[in-house]
Structure 1
Amino acid sequence: MGASLLYDDGEQIVREESHGVKVLSDEEVALLPDTPYNLWVRGDLDDYVDAPEGSRVEVIGGKVVVSPPPGLPHNSIAGDINYALVRAHVLQPGFIWRTDNGTGMSLVGVGDGYVPDLMAIDQDVYLAARRSGVRMLVPDQVEMVVEVTSYSNAKNDREPTGERRGKNKWNGYARAEIPYYLLVDRSPKVAKSILYTIPDQALGAYLHQEAWEFGETIHLPDPFDIEIDTAEWKPWDD
Structure 2
Amino acid sequence: MAVILSEMTIGEAADRLSEALPGHRVEVLKGSIVVTPPPDGPHQETVAELVYQFRQAGGRESGLKSLPGIGVWLGTGPDDYAEPDWAIVDADYKDALVTKNCYAANVFRLVLEVTSSNWGNDLVTKAETYAEARIPVYVVADRKHGEVLVLTDPVGDTYRTRSRYERGATVVLPSSVGVTLELPVDVLLDGDGD
Output the TM-score relative to the length of structure 1: 0.68
Give the conservation status (yes or no) of the 8 Å contact 2:150–2:163: yes
Q: Residue 87 of structure 1 corresponds to which residue in structure 2?
A: 56
> Secondary structure of the residue that 2:57 maps to in structure 1?
helix
Aligned residues: 184
Are 2:153 and 1:198 aligned?
Answer: yes
Aligned to 1:118: 86
Asked if 1:139 is matched to 2:94, the reply is no
Change (3 A) 1:63 1:191: same
- Residues 86 and 98 in structure 1, CA contact (< 8 A), matched pair in contact too: no
SS at match of 2:131: helix
- Taking the aligned partners of 2:181 and 2:14, their CA distance within structure 1 comes to 37
Structure with more contact order per residue of length (Cα contacts < 8 Å, sep ≥ 6) = 2
The 1:82/1:228 distance shift into structure 2, 3 A limit, reads same
Matched with 1:156 is 121
Q: Distance in 2 between matches of 1:58 and 1:211?
A: 26
Q: Cα gap change, 1:87/1:110 in structure 2, threshold over 3 Å: closer, same or farther?
A: farther
Uncovered stretches (5+) of structure 2, i.e. residues with no partner: none
1:219 aligns with one of 172, 177, 187: 172
- Asked if 1 retains the 8 angstrom alpha-carbon contact of 2:76 and 2:129, the reply is no
Which amino acid is the alignment partner of residue 136 of structure 1?
A: C
Q: Give, in whole Å, the separation in 1 of the partners of 2:28 and 2:142.
A: 21
Q: Could you say which residue in structure 1 is the equivalent of 2:130? A: 173
Partner of 1:116: helix, strand, or coil?
A: coil
**Bigger strand fraction:** 2
In the alignment, the residues of structure 2 paired with residue 32 and residue 196 of structure 1 have an alpha-carbon distance, to the nearest angstrom, of 41
Aligned-partner residue type, residue 171 of structure 1:
E
* C-alpha separation in 1, matches of 2:169 and 2:62: 24
Give the direction of change, closer, same or farther, for the CA distance of 1:146–1:45 in structure 2 (3 Å limit).
Answer: same
SS in 1 for 2:130: helix
Deviation at 1:180, TM superposition (A): 0.3
Distance of 2:55 and 2:94 partners within structure 1: 15
CA offsets 1:194-218 (integer angstroms, 9 cap, x no match): 11000012xx000002221123211
Asked if 1:104 is matched to 2:71, the reply is yes
2:186 & 2:142 partners in 1: Cα distance? 15
Residue type at the aligned position of 2:163 = E
What's the secondary structure of 2:42's corresponding residue? helix
Instruction: State the superposition RMSD in angstroms.
Output: 2.8
- The one of 55, 61, 70 equivalent to 2:24 is 55
Q: Percent identity at matched positions?
A: 30
Say if 1:136 and 1:232 are closer, same or farther in 2 by CA, change over 3 A.
closer
**AA paired with 2:102?**
M
Residue identity matched to 2:22: E
Query: Aligned AA for 1:97?
Result: L
Q: 1:145 to 1:234 in 2, by over 3 A?
A: closer
The amino acid across from 2:75 in the alignment is V
Bigger helix share: 2
Q: Give deviations 1:143-179, integer Å, cap 9, x for gaps.
A: 11000101x2100010x3xxxxxxx111000000100
Work out the CA distance in 2 between the residues paired with 1:95 and 1:33: 46
| 3-state SS of 2:35 partner | strand
Q: Which of 141, 150, 153 is 1:184 aligned to?
A: 141
